[in-house]
């Protein structure tokens, strides 16, 4: 519950930083209420206002996320808001009512209302984060694909089962079908499990937790989310081999002891590969 409340509290800020659409919705609702132009579609405007109110305030947002069985992140509760319909209706009303006043030179009402809409949008959202995120994602993808292309040169035609840090596994299957994975993107992105009822077994979950620790260079052990179980390098190797893994990548920032123990457990020598160490068990 505490995590849900935190997600709801931070969700509004994160959601509005991705674009202006919700800010435009607020501006349209404000225009319809202040001018009384929403009376013809009173039910739509009232429902939309209540839905927006519930999505913005943290406590109602938590109950909405619980209602959606906690499969979804915060932004998905906005699916209950008829966002496109209300925006289209509000813009149509504004254009029909005040376009003629512009043509007739009557600027008294139209200019203040236009400024009010623009001010609401500016105060409610930040237009810059989406472009920044996409640029960062593009660079991350390019770096991962460079590593994967180097790895492909040594991969047999039958392919390999790759266990690697998250930033590599995210783009492995997209790069080439020769890569199989012990777990997929839905391991760290819970929203992808919305319509799935299968779950990973404990060993697979521990593999992911161990690799997460290795990415952060925090030692040779990794704990589960509950903190009740710890696995060593040797145990992680056993779980990986059971999952069919025959190719392992570790970041070059990991401690030398981790590399040494991984080599001993797999019976192969680590090979430098760009910013990673490659453990090839398929030869």
Residue 247 — φ and ψ, nearest 5°?
A: -150, 125
Query: CA 236 to CA 198: how far, in whole Å?
Result: 22
pLDDT in tens, the chain (283 residues): 666 677 766 777 777 666 667 878 888 888 888 878 777 788 888 999 999 888 888 888 888 877 766 656 777 788 888 888 888 888 788 777 766 555 555 555 566 666 766 666 666 555 545 444 556 677 788 888 888 998 888 888 778 899 999 989 999 988 888 899 999 888 888 777 766 677 888 889 899 989 988 877 555 555 444 455 778 899 999 999 999 999 999 998 888 898 999 999 999 999 998 889 999 887 6
């Amino acid at each position: 519950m505490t995590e849900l409340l935190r997600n709801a509290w931070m969700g509004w800020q994160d959601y509005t930083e991705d674009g202006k659409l919700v800010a435009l919705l607020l501006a349209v609702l404000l225009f319809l209420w202040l001018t009384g132009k929403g009376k013809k579609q009173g039910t739509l405007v009232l429902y939309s206002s209540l839905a927006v109110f519930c999505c913005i305030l943290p406590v109602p947002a938590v109950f909405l996320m619980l209602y959606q069985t906690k499969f979804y992140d915060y932004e998905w509760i906005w699916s209950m808001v008829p966002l496109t319909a209300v925006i289209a209706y509000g813009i149509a009303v504004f254009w029909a009512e005040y376009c003629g006043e512009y043509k007739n030179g009557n600027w008294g009402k139209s200019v203040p209302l236009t400024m009010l809409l623009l001010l609401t949008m500016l105060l409610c959202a930040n237009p810059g984060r989406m472009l920044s995120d996409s640029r960062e994602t593009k660079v991350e993808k390019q770096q991962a694909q460079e590593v994967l292309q180097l790895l492909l040169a040594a991969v047999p035609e039958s392919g390999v089962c790759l266990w690697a840090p998250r930033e590599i596994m995210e783009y492995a299957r997209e790069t080439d079908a020769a890569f199989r994975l012990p777990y997929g993107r839905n391991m760290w992105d819970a929203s992808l499990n919305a319509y799935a009822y299968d779950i990973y077994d404990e060993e697979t979950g521990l593999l992911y937790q161990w690799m997460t620790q290795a990415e952060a260079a925090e030692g040779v052990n990794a704990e589960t989310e509950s903190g009740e179980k710890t696995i060593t390098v040797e145990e992680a190797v056993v779980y990986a081999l059971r999952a069919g893994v025959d190719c392992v990548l570790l970041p070059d920032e990991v401690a030398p002891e981790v590399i040494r123990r991984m080599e001993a457990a797999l019976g192969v020598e680590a090979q430098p590969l760009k910013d990673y160490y490659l453990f090839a068990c398929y030869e």
